[in-house]
Structure 1
Amino acid sequence: MLVLDTDDLPATDRIDVYRATAIDQGGSCSIEPELDERGRFRMRLQAWQFGPVGLFANFGSGMRYLQTERDLRRDHWSSISIFNQATGDGGFIWNDTERRLTSDDLAFACKSARYWESRWSNTGENVGLQLRADQVGLPEDLIRDAMPLAGHSSLTPLLLTQLRSLRADADRLSAGPGVEAIGDAVVELVRAVIASVTGSAPVRRAVAEETRFVRIVTYLTVHLTDPDLTPARVAAVHNLTLPALHRLFHAEGLDVQEWIAQHRLEGARDDLASHAHSHRTIADIGRSWGYIDPTSFTRGFRRAYGLTPGHWRRLHREMST
């Protein structure tokens, strides 16, 4: 959802309005804008809410976004912020540690820092997540100690992929029926990342066990369109036997193969009804959701919805005219 586009404002008001909007969205902060080659500050701020998790995206000319001890003391709530420099030349500072931030990195910050800063130069997009620290259910000192290490966790690429997926389809997902569940899954992933890099071995094992199902569902969601996504592959990636994977899903009242088929068909159904995909063939849409065989796609679609993919598409075209 678009929160602010400074192109809609007089040049003299842009910085002040953006600063006020950023504080309203993310808490007390300091902002130092970088003007473009024409001496202008341009920024487009978007924000979405997924239950307990906020997603934001800033696109425009460079800037420094920082929180000093004074800024941090002003906020009455403790938060965790996670940043990715989707495009542009970025950097991040956490207390005394400075690092370059690229599209393949995540940087983590929380209110217990003495100082933290996210910045980029020239035109770029900075994307991130924000949630309350108490939602992850871990001690504050453990969260604080994890911040400079979390970007190197073996689970961070999974969280990065989730962030990219949310950003790519934020408008639709944030308005959908599963918005709370998406946010809860992100919280569990953040919890798993933090626990994986700090705390005692029993804590790490306990959190890994508690978040295993969420991590597997996230993996399934990310790889849903892969034709070779099978329960056997999922089990191998997560160091489980196939029977153990099935037991894990059965405990949640689910079947892993049915979960894959259901969510693939839902994605294909939405694409078939969307005007944005009207130029694509039915077979192409089926393939894009992992159905290599058109006959198998049609059979599964009819079994799930009582209509063929072609009938479903025609029905929605008639409704939109």
Structure 2
Amino acid sequence: MLLLDTRDVPRADRAEAFRVAMGEASVPCRIEHRQPTGELQARMTLVPFGRASVFNTDASGFRLVRTPRHVRMESPPVVAVAFQQAGRGEYAQLGHEQLVQGADLMLVDLTAPYDFGCATGGGSRSFQVLHDHLALPVDVVRRAVPRLRASPLHDLVRGHLDEVCNRAAAWSSDAGSAALGTATVELVRALIVSAAGDDRLRATVREQTLVTRVRAYLAQHLTDPALTPATIAAAHAVSVRLLYRACSEAGLSLEQEVIARRLELARTQLSTPAGRRRSIAATAAACGFTDASHFARRFREAYGTTPREWRLSRPPR
């Protein structure tokens, strides 16, 4: 849902429109702009994702200040995990100060005061979930605020959120969007528990979210020909036996999942301009297959046609 595009708003009304849109998507706070009202530029979207939402903002320079007075106002108890798509953010909460840029994630407990600014403007991407749906004690969430980077799950979750937040509008109407939202909440929950170092919850959450984390890991390493059950298990600090057991209980065949995803990736690439120019074997290798003959056989079994026939049947893009 498009909340605001200042190109459609008279210059004199842009600051008020920004305030209203921010309040609709988030929680009460004070907003300071770094340029005259007439020069303010912003685009905000809010996309429901199951039991969570994606809130994206691209704007000229601004600062948000949530004070104790704002906290006392009635508002939903929300936790947000966010990153800067462009520009650099300056964030402070609970005694923690952080420059947010590039691959960094920030964790914001919106039930506590905080300060966030983007002096030169930029793009912010945020995944928001209610405290109740996150199902973690407030003290665990707040302990994790300054320690996200210390978690070995940080980069996995950052990569996943990059896909979710930047493709939210396209994915929100898909039949699987609610399930994707639930899986993303599980990943965020695992990241917070890992960063907080809470021994009471770590083992339980690690076990509960293993298959979700594995699926996210597969998406990010799909084209790596060295991706095997052993490397997947090692990346998640579990035995291969435990990995297979968890996947079996979830109705997931690990090897078939990898092959199915690689085949779908290859099928998509074969119809692109680049895929039309390169050999079938090169496409197979680019999608993680080490044997072109094995790839061709599995492709035919899955889709009832050869890779070459599939490519010829696709209209040029």
Bucket of the pairwise TM-score, normalised by the shorter protein:
0.7 to 0.9
Q: Report the counterpart of residue 100 of structure 1 in structure 2.
A: 99
Change (3 A) 1:92 1:256: same
Q: Report the counterpart of residue 204 of structure 1 in structure 2.
A: 202
Aligned: 1:244 with 2:242? yes
SS at match of 1:298: helix
Q: Report the counterpart of residue 227 of structure 1 in structure 2.
A: 225
d(CA) in 2 for partners of 1:4, 1:286: 43
Q: Report the counterpart of residue 186 of structure 2 in structure 1.
A: 188
Name the count of aligned residue pairs. Answer: 314
d(CA) in 1 for partners of 2:48, 2:307: 32
Change (3 A) 1:228 1:43: same
What CA deviation, in whole Å up to 9, does each residue of 1:222-258 have, x standing for no partner? 2123232222211121223323322221121221110
d(CA) in 2 for partners of 1:270, 1:66: 45
Q: Report the counterpart of residue 266 of structure 1 in structure 2.
A: 264
Residue 119 of structure 2, aligned match among 121, 125, 128 = 121
What CA deviation, in whole Å up to 9, does each residue of 1:157-210 have, x standing for no partner? 221111112234334333333212221121111211222233752322222222
Aligned: 1:166 with 2:164? yes
Contact 2:105 2:158 in 1 (8 A): yes
Change (3 A) 1:279 1:206: closer
**Which aligned pairs between 1:10-21 and structure 2 lie closer than 5 A?**
10-21=10-21
Q: Which amino acid aligns with 2:42?
A: M
Contact 1:91 1:98 in 2 (8 A): yes
Residue 280 of structure 1, aligned match among 275, 278, 289 = 275
d(CA) in 2 for partners of 1:288, 1:173: 25
Contact 2:53 2:127 in 1 (8 A): yes
Identical positions, percent: 32
Unaligned runs of 5+ in 1: none
d(CA) in 2 for partners of 1:172, 1:267: 18
d(CA) in 2 for partners of 1:243, 1:156: 25
d(CA) in 1 for partners of 2:269, 2:27: 38
SS at match of 2:120: strand
SS at match of 2:39: coil
Contact 2:46 2:55 in 1 (8 A): yes
Contact 1:165 1:222 in 2 (8 A): no
Q: Report the counterpart of residue 48 of structure 1 in structure 2.
A: 47
What CA deviation, in whole Å up to 9, does each residue of 1:37-70 have, x standing for no partner? x961111223333212212222231111232222
Moved beyond 6 Å, runs of 4+: none
Aligned: 1:33 with 2:28? no
Change (3 A) 1:271 1:11: farther
Unaligned runs of 5+ in 2: none
TM-score with structure 2 length normalisation?
0.87
Residue 156 of structure 1, aligned match among 149, 154, 157 = 154
**Which aligned pairs between 1:306-321 and structure 2 lie closer than 5 A?**
306-313=304-311, 315=313, 317=315
SS at match of 1:49: strand
TM-score with structure 1 length normalisation?
0.86
Contact 1:159 1:190 in 2 (8 A): yes
d(CA) in 2 for partners of 1:261, 1:35: 52
d(CA) in 2 for partners of 1:109, 1:26: 12
